[in-house]
């Protein structure tokens, strides 16, 4: 027994070392970006910044924060992310719950049509024509509706609903409950982990999306945060000579601004994750046991 325990302890130690190395490899790039965004021009230009700042300063963030358009785009992205996540969850829950029931006629055909869209898409131009034809061009709906439901998320949630104990539903039906009552009073309260997981998937997708804003939005006041920061970055690179008269120092400022835009656009969604972490791992495992 003692020898067996020693072997297990050594294996666990090796596993912890490997996991720690993976964590360091994953975290280091973000720490480097964060450190460069608050470091001095000379340190950034000389490549001296690793995972801690040198000559701490906030000039890059001041350059971002003084742009009123950035805060307007932040509001647009927050509204789109919140509304898109709510709509996506509503559609995904409704479709997954209905198509998880064996008594539903034609459920295999409907599921087949949905799975078909995972492998074959119409492309950018047909999608653009549809969005414009529906009157959604240059509206917030164009940022939300085309990505309203993910078939992958639907499959994960449908698998979860299939694994719920059937005895609970049968007991509720015997007591006179209908399908809607079973969904809202039994299925959804048991589905908090998977709902939180799918909600996080949708939120991250909407938050990071800039391409929809690029092709569907024409009015500048409706630009998403990601697209706004992309334009700022490109404008900064095109006008380096006018930003400062320090030669290579201007390039350093440009690098700091790049890092600051990455942090500014990434940090809010990262701060949401710890609140959902306890549901995330459990939800992914519950929804991926069986297909």
Per residue in 46-103, pLDDT tens?
888 888 888 888 888 888 888 888 889 999 999 999 999 999 999 999 999 999 888 8
pLDDT at site 143 = 93
pLDDT in tens, 186-234: 888 888 888 988 998 999 999 999 899 999 999 988 999 888 888 877 7
For residue 193, CA distances in Å to 84, 205, 280, 284 come to 19, 19, 6, 8
Nearest to 60 by CA among 211, 228, 243, 280: 243
Contact yes or no for 283/196 (Cβ under 8 A): yes
Contact yes or no for 134/261 (Cβ under 8 A): no
Does residue 209 lie in a domain region? yes
Contact yes or no for 16/34 (Cβ under 8 A): no
Does residue 76 lie in a domain region? yes
The boundaries of the domain holding residue 173 are 61-286
What is the spatial distance between Cα 224 and Cα 232, in angstroms, rounded to a whole number?
12
Cite the DSSP H helix spans in 135-247: 141-144, 151-162, 166-174, 179-182, 188-190, 192-208, 211-216, 225-238, 240-243
Q: What is the pTM of this model?
A: 0.81
Does residue 51 lie in a domain region? no
Does residue 42 lie in a domain region? no
Does residue 73 lie in a domain region? yes
Contact yes or no for 202/89 (Cβ under 8 A): yes
**Dihedral sign of CA atoms 112, 114, 118, 119 in order:** positive
Mean pLDDT of 163-178: 82
Neighbours of 103 (CB within 10 A): 6
Nearest to 254 by CA among 282, 234, 273: 234
CATH number at residue 123: 1.10.3720.10
For residue 168, pLDDT over 90 is answered with: no
pLDDT in tens, 126-137: 999 999 999 999
Number of domains in the chain: 1
For residue 180, CA distances in Å to 176, 185, 186, 276 come to 12, 8, 10, 27
Does residue 119 lie in a domain region? yes
Angle at the Cα of 44 from the Cα atoms of 42 and 49, rounded to 5 degrees: 120
């Amino acid at each position: 027994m003692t020898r067996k325990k020693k072997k297990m302890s050594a294996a666990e130690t090796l596993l912890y070392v490997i996991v720690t190395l993976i964590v360091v490899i994953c975290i280091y790039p973000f720490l480097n970006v964060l450190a460069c965004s608050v470091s001095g021009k000379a340190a950034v230009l000389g490549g001296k910044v690793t995972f801690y700042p040198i000559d701490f300063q906030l000039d890059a963030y001041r350059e971002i924060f003084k742009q009123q358009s950035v805060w307007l785009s932040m509001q647009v992205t927050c509204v789109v992310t919140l509304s898109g996540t709510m709509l996506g969850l509503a559609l995904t829950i409704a479709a997954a719950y209905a198509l998880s029931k064996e008594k539903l006629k034609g459920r295999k055909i409907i599921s087949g049509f949905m799975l078909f869209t995972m492998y074959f898409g119409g492309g950018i131009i047909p999608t653009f024509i549809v969005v414009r034809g529906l009157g959604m061009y240059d509206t917030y709906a164009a940022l939300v509706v085309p990505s309203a439901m993910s078939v992958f998320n639907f499959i994960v949630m449908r698998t979860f609903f299939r694994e719920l104990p059937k005895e609970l539903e049968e007991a509720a039906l015997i007591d006179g409950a209908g399908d809607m009552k079973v969904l809202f009073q039994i299925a959804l309260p048991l589905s908090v982990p998977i709902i939180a997981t799918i909600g996080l998937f949708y939120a991250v997708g909407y938050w990071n999306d800039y391409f929809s804003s690029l092709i569907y939005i024409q009015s500048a006041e409706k630009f998403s945060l990601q697209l706004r920061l992309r334009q700022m970055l490109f404008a900064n690179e095109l006008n380096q000579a006018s930003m400062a008269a320090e030669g290579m120092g201007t390039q350093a400022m440009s690098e700091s601004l790049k890092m600051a835009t990455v942090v500014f656009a990434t940090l809010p969604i990262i701060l949401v994750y710890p609140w959902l972490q306890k549901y995330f791992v459990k939800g992914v495992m519950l929804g991926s046991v069986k297909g």
